[in-house]
Every structure is written in structure tokens, then in C-alpha cells.
Amino acid sequence: MTSRASSPAPTKRQPFRFFDLPSELRLRIYEYALWTPKPVDLVSDNFRTILPRLALFLVSRRMYSEAYPVFYAQPIRLFPDARSRFYKTKKPLLQRLPTKYREAITTLELQLGPGWSRIPLNQNTRMELGLMECKSLRTLKIFIELDPTNDMIFEGFRGDNATSDTYKWHCVQLLIGIMDQVPSLEVVEFDAYPSVAKNGPLVSALIRKVKEGGKKLVFGPLRGWDKDDSEPGLIGLEADMANMVIGMKAPQTVAVTA
């Protein structure tokens, strides 16, 4: 038996030399540690999903200088989500950020559809929003949850003095304001829920403005518009109802053998 006194001393562990790694590998590690599944937004649970990740900024000055551009390279939501308690806040996330962080943003997401009957006052492209400082912005992702322009179901809910085209032109003005203030913008990506048609008034007007602005037009993976599918799909109970055969035949008697 080896006594404790005669046992070899434990080897002192050396700190991992993180900055000796190649820069490409360090960037991949930063992405894994800092990126979130959803776009960065003003939501109440940021203290759980975002705040712990930002502790990486406090490790050292060098790590901070390398990490913060990676964090702000992930999609940033331009206006708060309709389900967030910050939906009608006077200052969206972009307006709250310092100039240094705005300059690092590469992708913005614009969510359209929610609030169509009463558009929040914070949904505008005024100078205070800070779009002109987004000098690294390359991609604008536009996600359309619904198109209220061409469906009779939305009649009666549009608000005072609003027509079927009011929300469409509001969205077009948002897009124009972004493209005018961000000359570095190169790509506009469209995606939507299945109920939104590619050839509908809202989407058609936005696509036309993108082409007029000379930006590259691409389509996201959810809606599948890159496959030339312009018809609205089935959502919710519609998919189940489509598989049901509802006829006018009288009920048939079924014999049950005991």
C-alpha cells in the first residue's frame, strides 16, 4: 500500500490557452456560446436567455473585442414581437443600443402582420431609430405572419379611416425607409406562414420595391416560395378538415355482431 505521504503530488493544471486557437475556431466557439435560437429581441426572459451569454464579455478586453461583433451578427428584431410586453414601447431594441453595437449588426428581422388593425407608434423609420448607424447591415429578413389586405374576414377590424390598403402602404414605407437609410443593405429575404400568398397585395408590393431598389431577393425556408408556390397553404384545423369527407348522404346503419 502506498502511503499518502509517499504518493506523487497532483499535477498542477494549466489554464487552457484559448487565444492560441486559430481565429476561425475561436469565432465558431463564440457563435456556439452567444447565438440564440430566435432573433434577439426585447422580451421579458432576456435575463435567462441573453444575460448569461453576455458574461463572456467580462472575461477580458481581448475576448470582449472579439466576441461582441459575433453576438450582434445574429438576427436582431427591428420592432418588438407582438407577444412581448415591450410591443408598444417607445424605444425598440435598435434605438436602445449604443452606436458601437449598431455598427456591428449584420442582419435585421422585420416582422409584419401583428398590429395591422392598430399599428404601434414605434413602427417607423425615424432618424432616432439609428438605422443610419447600421453600417455593417447586409441582410434584411422580412417575416409576414398574415396579409390583411385582400380577405373579407378582416373587414370591420381595420380601425378608424383605414382601408384595405392602409397596412400594405405602411409596410412599404417601412421597407423604403430601411433601404434609404442603409446603403450597405444587399439582400432582402422573404418568408411567411402558409396562409400568406406570394401573389397577394402585400407581398407583391414589397417584392416590387425590393427589385426597384436593386437589392438581391431571396426566399426563406418556411414558406417555400423558392419553389414557385404562390398559393396560400393550409394552417391550423384546415389541414385536418381537408382530409375529412363531408357529404350529404344519410347515415348508414352498421351491424354489430355480439
The CA distances from residue 173 to 15, 107, 123, in Å, are 54, 19, 10
Give the angle 12-18-21 at the CA atoms, nearest 5°.
Answer: 125
Q: Are 81 and 111 in contact (CB under 8 A)?
A: yes
pLDDT of residue 248: 39
**Is 189 among the domain residues?**
yes
pLDDT of residue 14: 82
The CA distances from residue 159 to 5, 115, 168, in Å, are 84, 11, 14
- Tracing cell 416582422 back to the chain, one arrives at 111
**Is 138 among the domain residues?**
yes
pLDDT of residue 233: 52
**Is 25 among the domain residues?**
no
Q: Are 53 and 91 in contact (CB under 8 A)?
A: no
Domain housing 213: 75-242
Read off the pTM. 0.81
pLDDT of residue 118: 83
pLDDT of residue 251: 43
Which residues are bridge partners to 217 per DSSP?
A: 188
3-state secondary structure 128-188: HHCHHHCCCCCEEEEEECCCCCCCHHHCCCCCCCCCCCHHHHHHHHHHHHHHHHCCCCCEE
Residue 143: count other Cβ atoms within 10 Å of its Cβ. 21
**Is 57 among the domain residues?**
no
pLDDT of residue 55: 95
**Is 98 among the domain residues?**
yes
The total number of structural domains that make up the chain:
1
Q: How far apart, in whole angstroms, are the C-alpha atoms of residue 111 and residue 250?
A: 48
Q: Which residues of 11-20 are buried (b: 16+ CB within 10 A; e: fewer)?
A: eeeeeeeeee
Below-70 pLDDT ranges, the chain: 1-7, 150-162, 164, 227-258
3-state secondary structure 54-97: HHHHHCCHHHHHHHHHHHCCCCEECCCCCCCCCCCCCCCHHHHC
Element (H, E) at 49: helix 46-49
**Is 158 among the domain residues?**
yes
Residue 50 CB contacts under 8 Å (≥ 6 apart), including other chains: 36, 40
Q: Which residues of 103-115 are buried (b: 16+ CB within 10 A; e: fewer)?
A: bbbbbbbbbbbbb
pLDDT of residue 15: 83
Residue 72: count other Cβ atoms within 10 Å of its Cβ. 21
Grid cell listed for 22: 486559430
pLDDT of residue 255: 47
pLDDT of residue 3: 58
**Is 63 among the domain residues?**
no
